């Protein structure tokens, strides 16, 4: 039975109420899928799904608040109870899959057949919370204990039905369990089927691919996810730009860890449930090194301008994968700025404050720290910036401007670029500390206005 099931957890209590209502009406009903798996692993499930032999119409009659009726043809509706929403699915057998995503039709069936049409044994478990009983038709409990990701039935058939399962297998192996315990491995026949079927992932919508990849990059062990993607052949299909990092040599005096791919992999190993823009910036920060690789006259390997080229390549990749504009903006900024940290001790105070005042600065600083740890190991600039954060209050790093455009206009400067130029120079003086009052800022602006 599931361990550590908290009796007073409101979400589980209401889910049990849904199951009890269905059972009292004469139907079978159980908790199903990932929620059961997570609880058996001692983890709190994010949500609870319910499986039953009641039809969607019968479910709808039992509960006053039912939504998601567009899913009725697949046997799925959502039941709302208090502030919680539960997906309630009728036991079903899937018809043929024509699009590598969903069946053409479903037939309502028994609990056992429903379990056998699911993807992996660890996701094919049912739990009766009323009788406190685990129902296992597919050997999922044994595979959980053995830490195995195993396809139910014929793995090639399972992956042919839904190609996204190729990535889901990798994601489960990389992220389960979420705590520091024995990791999962992919069962031999299932792994062979993934390697055989990996080119088929190209048939899946890019948004679905991106969602699975994001759960890997921002998950428990992203470096292990990268290994599995690489070894399975999936990486070359979904992110060929990262696959091309293999064999791109780096100057050994700065990168004793090896080629660019090994450097990125090592950096990913330092992440654990990282913010997505940080995880993506680790993945993409050196993506342009294959394009900028050169050996100078002394025999040293150089990647001049790889951060600027990398920012453009990163934006192209993320646009292709249909990330949100904000996620693209943050990630591109991290990639574009990751080399500026080598110069922080030589920066003017105004430049340093501008760097520290960026809304992505904390993520940039963490990217710099991990980058250094995974090559030369020198954290001197990182500690310098951490000290500056302690020395400089926030309102000094990013103070409100002492003057406005209206102030500059009042000096007789005509509307246009000159106003912006003057405001920028005055603000830099403010950041440097040479201008500290409104009157001093006006005096400097007046002096600058004479040049226009």
Distance separating alpha carbons of residues 437 and 144, to the nearest angstrom: 67
* pTM, rounded to two decimals: 0.88
Please name the residue that has the structure tokens 């900024």.
Answer: 333
Q: What are 321-345's pLDDT values in tens digits?
A: 999 999 999 999 999 999 999 999 9
Q: Would you identify the CATH topology of the domain 250-397?
A: Hypothetical protein af1432 (1.10.3210)
Residue-level pLDDT at 7: 41
pLDDT of residue 394: 84
Q: Is the pLDDT of residue 105 over 70?
A: no
pLDDT band at 254 (very low <50, low <70, confident <90, very high): confident
Is CATH 3.40.50.12240 the classification given to domain 150-238?
Answer: no
Secondary structure (3-state) at 235? helix
Strand 84-90: give its sheet, edge to edge: 66-67, 76-81, 84-90, 49-52, 29-32, 125-128, 133-136
Tell me the pLDDT tens digit for each residue of 190-234: 999 999 999 999 999 999 999 999 999 999 999 999 999 999 999
Q: Which residues have C-beta within 8 Å of that of residue 132, sequence separation ≥ 6? A: 1
pLDDT for position 100: 56
Residue 152, CA distances (Å) to 121, 197, 201 in order: 5, 16, 19
CATH pick for 1-146 out of 3.40.50.10800, 3.30.460.10, 3.30.565.10, 3.40.50.2300 = 3.30.460.10
Q: In sequence order, which residues have a C-beta less than 8 Å from that of residue 2 and are 6 or more positions away? A: 36, 39, 40, 127, 134
Q: Using one digit for the tens of pLDDT, what is the confidence trace for 417-432?
A: 989 999 999 998 988 8
Domain residue ranges of the chain, discontinuous segments joined by +: 1-146, 150-238, 250-397, 405-449
């Amino acid at each position: 039975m599931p361990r550590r099931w908290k009796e007073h957890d409101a979400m589980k209590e209401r889910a049990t109420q849904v199951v009890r209502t269905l059972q009292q009406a004469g139907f079978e009903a159980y908790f199903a899928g990932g929620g059961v798996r997570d609880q058996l692993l001692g983890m709190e499930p994010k949500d609870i799904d319910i499986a039953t032999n009641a039809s969607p119409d019968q479910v709808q009659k039992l509960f006053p608040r039912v939504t998601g009726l567009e899913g009725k043809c697949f046997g799925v509706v959502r039941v709302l109870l208090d502030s919680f929403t539960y997906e309630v699915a009728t036991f079903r057998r899937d018809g043929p899959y024509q699009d590598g995503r969903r069946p053409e039709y479903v037939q309502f069936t028994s609990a056992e057949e429903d379990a056998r049409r699911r993807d992996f044994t660890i996701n094919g478990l049912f739990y009766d919370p009323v009788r406190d009983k685990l129902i296992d038709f597919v050997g999922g409990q044994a595979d959980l204990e053995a830490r195995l990701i195993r396809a139910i039935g014929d793995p090639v058939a399972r992956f042919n039905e839904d190609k996204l399962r190729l990535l889901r297998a990798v994601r489960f192996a990389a992220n389960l369990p979420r705590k520091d315990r024995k990791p999962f491995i992919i069962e031999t026949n299932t792994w062979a089927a993934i390697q055989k079927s990996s080119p088929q992932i190209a048939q899946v919508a890019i948004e679905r691919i991106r969602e699975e990849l994001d759960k890997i990059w921002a998950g428990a062990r992203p470096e292990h996810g990268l290994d599995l993607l690489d070894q399975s052949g999936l990486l070359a299909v979904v992110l060929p730009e990262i696959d091309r990092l293999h064999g791109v040599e780096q100057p050994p005096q700065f990168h004793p860890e090896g080629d660019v791919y090994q450097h990125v992999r090592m950096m990913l190993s330092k992440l654990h449930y990282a913010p997505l823009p940080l995880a993506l910036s680790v993945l993409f920060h050196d993506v342009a090194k294959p394009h900028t690789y050169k050996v100078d006259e002394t025999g040293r390997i150089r990647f001049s301008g790889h951060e600027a080229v990398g920012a453009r390549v990163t934006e192209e990749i993320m646009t292709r994968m249909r990330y949100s504009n904000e996620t693209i903006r943050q990630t591109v900024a991290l990639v574009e700025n990751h080399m500026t940290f080598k110069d922080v001790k030589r920066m003017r105070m105004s430049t340093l404050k501008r760097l520290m005042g960026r809304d992505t600065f904390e993520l940039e600083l963490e990217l710099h720290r991990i980058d250094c740890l995974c090559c030369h190991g020198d954290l001197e600039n990182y500690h310098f910036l951490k000290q500056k954060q302690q020395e400089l209050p926030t309102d000094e790093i990013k103070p409100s401007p002492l003057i406005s455009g209206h102030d500059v206009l009042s000096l007789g400067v005509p509307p246009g670029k000159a106003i912006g130029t003057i405001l920028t120079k005055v603000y830099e003086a403010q950041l440097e500390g040479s201008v500290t009052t409104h009157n001093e800022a006006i005096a400097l602006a007046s002096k600058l206005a004479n040049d226009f």
